[in-house]
């Protein structure tokens, strides 16, 4: 006999799976969702099923060691990653894993979503780092996730996908939506050639607003990110947000501007043909910065 809470959780997992499939976050039988039922039981999606067409009775009940307690099917092969998250995060009740294509593109390119560019992301997720590559469905993946999960509600998984956790199935799913939306906006900004970063001062102001909106802060910002290299479990967030030093709230991203240098070179070659040079402020700054670097 399942309780009302269990029935509701089964229905939420079905709904989150339907939305993941509808938005193209999963293909074929990819992705998995789980939720705590109580201190001894977890409800999880079964393996080898499209997440867009699940029914509440398909779910599998397992214990915190991953042993099946009830259900006609077998649990997802990524269950150990979910269990690792529950062990490290007593505050979360649900885990969502998917392969949303834009966020996964960043994970494949090895580019973390750690720049402070969107106020909403700074306030909710903070930074979204990349957990090191681990072979799917082996113990490597939980070990990679373990390093970051205490300080982050959302992670990219190198050459694989993304994982989120939160207090309910739907809020964990919404975090997955936020990551994919953020990846899409970041990609467009980078294609357009520049990103302005939110200053460190403004980031602190935004994080100070969390209490007002009832958002739990996953972790503080790291005071010295260089100390994290040898850490096996990270307890703070690295967020790229430069000190503005004045009242500026947005700061041009030097790293992105510097990547423009090859484009500037082609602009100059073009200019030498028609006798006119047109450069944006960012391109000119990047060109001068590059020239100065070469002089050293």
Site track for Zn ion across 214-243, x = CB under 5 A? ------------------------------
Work out the angle between the directed axes of helices 79-88 and 140-149 (0-180°, nearest 10).
30
d(CA 171, CA 162): 15
- Closer CB to Zn ion, 100 or 161, in the complex: 161
Count of positions on this chain that bind Zn ion (CB under 5 A)? 1
What's the distance, CA 197 to chain centroid? Answer: 18
Stretch that binds Zn ion, among 114-122, 139-147, 161-169, 262-270 (CB under 5 A): 161-169
- Closer CB to Zn ion, 159 or 280, in the complex: 159
- Closer CB to Zn ion, 46 or 193, in the complex: 46
To Zn ion, the closest distance from the beta carbon of 30 in angstroms equals: 6
| Residue whose beta carbon is closest to Zn ion | 161
- Closer CB to Zn ion, 12 or 78, in the complex: 78
d(CA 252, CA 137): 41
To Zn ion, the closest distance from the beta carbon of 190 in angstroms equals: 25
Q: Does 282 bind Zn ion (CB under 5 A)?
A: no
Stretch that binds Zn ion, among 10-18, 69-77, 156-164, 219-227 (CB under 5 A): 156-164
Q: Does 161 bind Zn ion (CB under 5 A)?
A: yes
Active site residue 78: yes
- Closer CB to Zn ion, 129 or 161, in the complex: 161
- Closer CB to Zn ion, 98 or 118, in the complex: 98
From its phi and psi, is residue 237 left (phi > 0), alpha (psi between -120 and 50) or beta? beta
To Zn ion, the closest distance from the beta carbon of 144 in angstroms equals: 12
Catalytic residue chosen out of the listed positions 12, 78, 195, 283: 78
Stretch that binds Zn ion, among 52-60, 137-145, 155-163, 278-286 (CB under 5 A): 155-163
To Zn ion, the closest distance from the beta carbon of 160 in angstroms equals: 6
What's the distance, CA 66 to chain centroid? Answer: 25
Stretch that binds Zn ion, among 19-27, 157-165, 185-193, 210-218 (CB under 5 A): 157-165
β partners of residue 240: 115
To Zn ion, the closest distance from the beta carbon of 183 in angstroms equals: 16
To Zn ion, the closest distance from the beta carbon of 81 in angstroms equals: 9
Non-local CB neighbours of 105 within 8 Å, separated by 6+ positions: 183, 187
Residues that bind Zn ion (CB under 5 A): 161
The catalytic site residues sit at 78
């Amino acid at each position: 006999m399942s309780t009302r809470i269990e029935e509701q959780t089964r229905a939420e997992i079905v709904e989150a799976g339907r939305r993941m499939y509808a938005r193209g976050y999963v293909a074929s039988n990819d992705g998995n969702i789980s939720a705590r039922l109580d201190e001894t039981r977890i409800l999880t999606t079964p393996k080898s099923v499209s997440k867009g067409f699940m029914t509440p009775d398909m779910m599998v009940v397992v214990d915190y060691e991953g042993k099946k307690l009830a259900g006609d099917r077998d649990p997802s092969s990524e269950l150990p990653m979910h269990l690792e998250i529950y062990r490290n995060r007593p505050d979360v009740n649900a885990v969502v894993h998917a392969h949303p294509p834009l966020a996964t593109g960043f994970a494949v390119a090895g580019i973390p979503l750690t720049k402070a560019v969107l106020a909403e992301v700074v306030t909710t997720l903070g930074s979204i780092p990349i957990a090191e590559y681990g072979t799917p469905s082996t113990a490597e993946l939980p070990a990679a996730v373990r390093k970051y999960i205490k300080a982050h509600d959302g992670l990219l998984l190198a050459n694989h996908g993304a994982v989120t956790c939160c207090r309910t199935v739907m809020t964990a799913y919404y975090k997955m939506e936020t990551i994919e939306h953020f990846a899409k906006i970041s990609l467009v900004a980078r294609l357009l050639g520049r990103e302005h970063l939110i200053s460190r001062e403004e980031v602190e102001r935004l994080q100070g607003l969390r209490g007002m909106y009832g958002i739990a802060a996953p972790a503080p910002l790291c005071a010295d990110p260089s100390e994290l290299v040898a850490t096996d479990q990270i307890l703070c967030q690295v967020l790229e947000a430069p000190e503005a030093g004045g009242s500026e709230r947005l700061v041009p991203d030097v790293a992105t501007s510097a990547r423009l240098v090859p484009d500037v070179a082609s602009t100059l070659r073009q200019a030498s043909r028609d006798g006119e040079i047109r450069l944006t402020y960012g391109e000119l700054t990047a060109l001068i910065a590059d020239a100065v670097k070469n002089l050293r």
